[in-house]
Amino acid sequence: MSNESDAFDPTASEMEALRRLEQGVVQIDTGLLASPSERLVDLGFVATTAEGEPALTARGLALVRHH
């Protein structure tokens, strides 16, 4: 069985951003999450909270755990 996240090939920076979101790290000195990858948002791996902060979605969490 295959799903869309199997076909998604995240960059190293995108995976680092997703892992940091999983750990609850919102601000990163290197700026990885200053503006999450538009691709991560468009594909539903990251959403924006009411406060305007990036947040890992269930789909993003599944991707992190899969990699």
Q: Which domain holds residue 33?
A: 8-66
Q: Is 0.75 surpassed by the pTM of this model?
A: no
pLDDT at 3: 52
Q: 4-8, 28-32, 63-67 — which is least confidently predicted?
A: 28-32
Are the CB atoms for 22 and 28 separated by under 8 Å?
no
Are the CB atoms for 21 and 60 separated by under 8 Å?
yes
Per-residue pLDDT at 1 exceeds 80: no
Are the CB atoms for 26 and 1 separated by under 8 Å?
no
2 in a domain, yes or no?
no
Are the CB atoms for 25 and 53 separated by under 8 Å?
no
Q: How far is CA 16 from CA 12, 27, 50, in A?
A: 6, 12, 23
28 in a domain, yes or no?
yes
CATH of the domain at 51: 1.10.10
pLDDT tens digit sequence for 12-56: 988 988 998 898 876 555 554 456 678 899 999 999 889 888 889
Residue 58's nearest CA partner among 42, 40, 41, 46 is: 46
Domains contained in the chain, number? 1
